[in-house]
Structure 1
Amino acid sequence: MRCLHSLLRPARLAVTACLAVALALIPSPVPAHAAEPAWGLVASSCTAPDIAANRAVGIGLVEVEAYWDRYLPGGPGAVNAAYVADLRARVTACLDNGIRVVLGPGTQYPPAWVRGLAGAGLVDQRGKNPTTGAIDTVFSAAVRGAQNDYLRRLVADLPSARLDGIRVGTSTAGEIGFPGPNEAGDGFLQSWWAYGADAQQGTGLAAGTPVTPMPGWIPGQRTWNGRTVTASMAQNWFLWYSRSLLFGIKGQVDALRAAGFSRPVHVPSPGKGVLPADLTTATAALLGGAGDRDGSLGRGLYYVDQFPALAGNVAGPLVVDLTGVDDATAVVARGLTPPQDRCASTDATASVAAGTPVQTWSNLRFARAQATRAGLAAVGENPGPPGAETGGTASSDPIAEQIRRSPAYARGCNLLAFFLAFEDVLDDPASGVTRQDYARAVTG
């Protein structure tokens, strides 16, 4: 698919025809699989006690988190040999005991020296940096180079040929996306994180990533370089912004492939992203704040476009990890008449048909439909306990209810695997849930 590059060329302002072609080139949907989803855990320690406990209840798949700041704490090439040896031993122990492993590389935990690299600080339209500590893995060539060096080391230092997959992301949660609402910390809800010199002027821009098509333009402004800004120009700018994330993802995948990793790459994807109707409303208002239903605009999440573009431009097997299984939107959607939380065989087509009330669908249902449209396999995970530093909120189901409901969502949405968040929740007596509870939920 050539549109990923031609659409983002700086001088290009017309987008509608290219987008139509891009969406017409979507691969055939992934065939329905008859197999039961694999049942796993997020953030496993792969220590001997947890391996034994997981095997005892039939858990055969885990995600293991690495930490960039522990791996290379002292600078480029300054490997912490003791940490690497421990990580390798734990991953190998799980594999040798028949437990499949997906590696989370932990690029959301950059070492201090990476924060000092050129262009490392994300900048929004008001010159603010995110208070969450997010760095610019999308536009900064220096950060991209350091990150890719780290990924290549992971492939070389760990039993990567035996892994079920490696995750990639751009956010502080390890997911695709820019920082979210009010992450500039100044009370202004909507930030657009593309105002560093790399994105605006091309200074230190990561190779292949296009500079903004409208240098200096700030969403909401009605003129640019003496021209009246139209809705189509605003849409083109947003598509440049959202597709910039894909260059960040593709850069990581390319580094993994160049290092010899041929197994699946997982892209954790939160929420449902911008809906087509949202984008119409938002661009008619020149991205001045209207139509931003849940902060997805500033995060740059537009799965209707991004999943097909990923499928057509990223090498090797790719899996989207939908992180909204039984999240707060599922609670609301299943309370409607009729309920809107369950995936249906017609969702891929219906989700982009005019008049379908997709705003009432759960995040999982809508995002799964976009993965199907793009021909991408999908796995999923729940948000975790409400109030935790996760996707769990006060509106989410309690963790025991998430455990009870998630297997049906995983089966009904044709997920290849479900990862329960988190292993340490099941190890904590105060949580009130155990591995046996998870096993009972899975077996029905």
Structure 2
Amino acid sequence: MPLSPARRPSARSAATAAVVVLALALLGPLLGAPARAGTTGTTGGATAAGRVYGTLQTSPARLAETGAAGVDTATLQVVWRRFEPVEGQVDAAYVAQVREELAAYRAAGRHVVLGTGVQYPPDWLLAYPDSRFVNQYGDAYAPAETGKKVANMVFNQTMRDKQAAYLSRVLATFGTDFWGVRLGGGWYGELNYPEAVYGTRTNAYWGFDRLARGAAPGLPPGVRPNPVPGWVPGTPSPDHAAAAAFAEWYMASLDDYHDWQIATVRRLYPGRLLMMYPSWGVRPGQLDAAVAADLAGTTSAERNGEVQRGFDVARFVGGITDPDVVVYTTWLNADASRDAGTDQRYWSPVRYLAHLARSRTVPLEVMGENTGRDTVEDMALSFEQARRLDLLGVVWAFEPDLFGGVYAGVGDLAAAIAEDRRLSAPTPSSSPTPTASPTPTASPTPTASPTPTTTPTPTASPTPTASPTPTATPTPTTGPTTGPTPPPAPLVVTTDALPRASTALPFSAALDAGGGTGALTWTASGLPQGLGLASTTTGWRLQGRPTATGTSTVVLTVTDATGTRSSRSLPLEVRAAPRVRQRNLPGATSGATYATTLTAEGGWCPCTWRAVQLPPGLTLSGAGELRGTAPAAGTWTVTVEVVDDLGAVGRTSLSLKVSPARLVRSRTLLRSATTTRWSRWTPTQELRLR
């Protein structure tokens, strides 16, 4: 199976999701449903309702079940490190596997979206000089998690050249008859810089490698060196000039990579390009507020990592010149309770992206996917947003979740698609009315929003095709000069997911909240054994080392100085370290070719293999292939380690019994070099049988 990242789950409670769905239904006239942009791409095809329905981590084995549910689009995920394990050499066996998968999707009548797998670079690529991002602390970005091990495509032209060559080979190998191609090029395949929190470092900005600083040649032509190479984020400067120059350069550099991806793939492929925009995004005024604080990590957009990760989506979408780029959110199920308001900082990601895409002279299509491991309520919200904003498609992450019995299931997806088709069908007299959701029991709160100083009041019903006009422009960094002091923003837990955990590794997760008054304190219930709360110099964290496996529902509660509380329930899954499935190795014959493949169980796979002790003549690949020429006869010890996606290690020693080679005696007829007579060679020749 192709690799796909296990992204952070959405953790909205069922009650909140129900409130949001009801709010969207009631506020539909305010939001409107803007006319969809036309596409000039050559690879069309949508449902009768004008929308496609797809899955991530699509499996050929589930085609009948998902097809019966109404899914019509598959995602074909190619993995760079498997496609080209050695530079310039394509793995024929892997290509055959992907072609077989592609043929199955097409035989089932599915549209196919290509995932290029740039987020899974091969080891040889990362061995190039300056191949990794570097932050202001001097840390090179080298995470253990698969899907995050990205190369420095923003500041290194050599990395872009290698990516362009890889993309050319992929499309030459599998063709260009795809419904769309996913772009983004960062970790998890989305458009981004690395994480704002890395190891023990916080407020990490990733523009300090040698090329970015101008200390070595090799920048792409459209990227200039850091204009303030001696300045570090958080350092004051006159009029915040250094922070302003750095912020502009930092965002423009990622924008250059954004545009380069579009132009590069467009030369190879004529159809839709799905550009993946993650998270909430930097909203109007937030970058200016961060600059005014010298990028010290203290503003709301920085605390949530939006600025450090480069999510200046207005810049990206506004600069697109290709009409067949699709603006794609990877957080379709984000809180939408304030989508009818005029303050763009509080709009859900898909609402904001739709506004940007359709405010252009040439509007762009919009579609999206949920975050993964989500509930039936999340699914209902995703489809309600698709109808409200007339999205081109809904992709459900992830297909295995539909069959695991924990999250929204395939039956729920079938019902959601059927309802979407019914409500989206054109009627001669009126627009369809969304089905009402259960009556909410509490007012919804935003998932992760900055703290405003005023509550703008709309003067007219906003639509996504024109910029809304508030009666007072909110200023995130200063209070109003006149009028009464506004009440504080409502207290809300903004931590929306907990990372995966292993009994073999220490665990640490930062907790964050927005709004409220004064100092905050946290409590937690439902924690796995071995974990607890701790107040650190960088804030509150869940930390420790879990001692038992399983999935827990952790309830986080934050309390401010007035006693106001906010809670959120989040799933936390703990797994043991991976184990080698084999207990014995197949026997071998001395001097003969030997090959076997090791497999793992447990842990957070995909896994990587490494050798600790091998007999002479044998090697172990990262994919677990043990091969080579068998050593001398005897019993040998083979010690290997399997490392999962989180870095947890399982070690096993196996016995390899090598039998002696069988011998056969033969007499060979040789022709004399000096006569024409034949003679027998009397010495006995020993031939090894292999």
Deviation per CA, 1:319-377: give whole Å up to 9, x if none: 121011113xx1xx53xxxxx1x4x6xx8xxxxxxxx4333332332233222234321
Structure 2 residue 116 is the aligned partner of structure 1 residue 105: yes
Q: Could you give the per-residue CA deviations for residues 50-83 of structure 1, whole angstroms, max 9, x where no partner exists?
A: 2222222221112221111110112x21111111
Cross-structure match for 1:306:
316
Which residue of 1 is the match for residue 579 of structure 2? none
Asked whether the equivalents of residues 263 and 316 of structure 1 are also in contact (C-alpha less than 8 Å), the reply is no
Highest relative contact order (Cα 8 Å, sep 6+), 1 or 2? Answer: 1
Which residue in the other structure is 1:405 paired with? 381
Cross-structure match for 1:200: 213
The aligned amino acid for 2:233 is P
Q: Show the counterpart of 1:159.
A: 175
Aligned equivalents of 1:36, 1:405: Cα separation in 2:
19
Structure 2, unpaired ranges of 5+ = 1-32, 38-47, 144-148, 420-690
What is the CA-CA distance between 1:131 and the residue it aligns to? 4.4
Which has the higher mean CA deviation after the structures are superposed, 236-245 or 64-73?
236-245
**1:271 matched to 2:279:** yes
Q: Give the count of matched residue pairs.
A: 367
Which of 81, 98, 101 is the equivalent residue of 1:69?
81
SS in 2 for 1:170: coil
- Residues in 2 aligned to 1:134 and 1:107: alpha-carbon distance in whole angstroms: 8
In structure 1, give the amino acid aligned to 2:333. Answer: D
C-alpha distance 250-432 of structure 1, shift in aligned 2 (>3 A): closer
By how many angstroms is 1:129 displaced?
Answer: 1.9
CA RMSD of aligned residues (A): 2.3
Letter in 1 for 2:159: V
1:436 partner letter: G
- C-alpha displacement at 1:293, in angstroms? 4.6
Tell me what 2:267 maps to.
258
CA contact 2:203–2:296 (8 Å) conserved in 1: no
User: What residue identity is the alignment partner of 2:56?
Assistant: V
Give me the identity figure in percent. 29
Q: Amino acid of the residue matched to residue 253 of structure 1?
A: I
Greater per-residue strand proportion: 2
Conserved in 2, the CA contact under 8 Å of 1:66 and 1:87? yes
* Counterpart for residue 436 of structure 1: 411
Partner Cα separation in structure 1 for residue 152 and residue 135 of structure 2: 11
Distance 2:264 2:312 in 1: 24
CA offsets per residue over residues 130-181 of structure 1, 9 Å max, x none? 2423321111122111111111111101132x20111111321110010122
Show the counterpart of 1:79. 90
- Is 1:243 the counterpart of 2:257? The answer is no
CA–CA separation in structure 1 for the residues paired with 2:285 and 2:222: 30
Give the partner amino acid of 2:417. Answer: V
- Output the amino acid matched with 1:415: L
Deviates more, 1:210-219 or 1:95-104: 210-219
- Pairwise CA distance, 1:442: 2.0
Gap change, CA 1:52 and 1:419, over 3 Å in 2: same
Residue 317, structure 1, aligned to residue 305, structure 2: no
Q: Identify the residue that residue 166 of structure 2 maps to in structure 1.
A: 150
Structure 1 counterpart of 2:343, from 357, 376, 392: 357
Higher helix share: 1
Q: Secondary structure at the match of 1:431?
A: coil
- TM-superposed CA distance for 1:196, in Å, is 0.7
Please state how far the C-alpha of 1:266 moved relative to its aligned partner.
0.9
State the Cα distance separating 1:258 from its structure 2 match.
2.6
Q: Which runs of 5+ in 1 are unaligned?
A: 1-28, 335-339, 348-355, 386-397
User: 1:71–1:83: 8 Å Cα contact kept in structure 2?
Assistant: yes
Residues 387-439 of structure 1: per-residue CA shift (max 9 Å, x gap): xxxxxxxxxxx4222223221111112210010011111233x3354322201
> Does the 8 Å contact 1:137/1:143 carry over to 2?
yes
Match of 2:56 in 1: 42
Do the aligned partners of 1:426 and 1:435 also contact (CA within 8 Å) in 2?
Answer: yes
Q: CA deviation at 1:35?
A: 4.6
Per-residue CA distance 1:167-206 (angstroms, 9 max, x = gap)? 11132111001012212x12x3211101011111052212
Q: What amino acid maps onto 1:147 in structure 2?
A: Q
Verify the 8 A CA contact 1:139 1:198 in the aligned structure 2: yes
Residue of structure 1 equivalent to 2:369: 381
Pair 194,176 (structure 1): closer, same or farther in 2 beyond 3 Å: same
Identify the range of structure 1 (279-288 vs 250-259) with the bigger mean alpha-carbon deviation. 250-259
Whole-angstrom distance in 1 between the partners of 2:247 and 2:408: 43
Could you tell me whether the CA contact under 8 Å between 1:141 and 1:206 is conserved in 2? yes
Specify which of 130, 138, 149 is matched with residue 141 of structure 2: 130
For residue 486 of structure 2, what is the aligned residue in structure 1? Answer: none
Letter in 1 for 2:307: L
Q: Distance in 1 between matches of 2:346 and 2:281?
A: 13
Superposed displacement of residue 232, structure 1: 5.3
CA distance in 1, matches of 2:255, 2:270: 19
Superposed CA deviations along residues 11-48 of structure 1, whole A, max 9, x for unmatched, are: xxxxxxxxxxxxxxxxxx98436954211111212x2x
Structure 1 residues 70, 316: CA separation in 2 closer, same or farther (over 3 Å shift)?
farther
* Aligned 8 A contact 1:37 1:411 in 2: no
Matches within 5 A, 1:112-127: 112-127=123-138
Give the match for residue 190 of structure 1: 203
- Structure 1 71/30 Cα, relative in aligned 2: closer, same or farther at 3 Å? farther
Higher alpha-carbon Rg: 2
The aligned counterpart of 1:414 is 390
Which amino acid in 2 is paired with 1:169? G
225, 232, 245: which is aligned to 1:211?
Answer: 225
Partner Cα distance (2:254, 2:106) in 1: 32
Query: How does the TM-score come out when normalised to structure 2?
Result: 0.51
Residue 222 of structure 1: CA displacement? Answer: 3.1
**Equivalent residue for 1:175?**
190
> Residues of 1 paired with 2:157 and 2:105: CA distance?
35
Question: What is the identity, as a one-letter code, of the residue corresponding to 1:305?
Answer: R
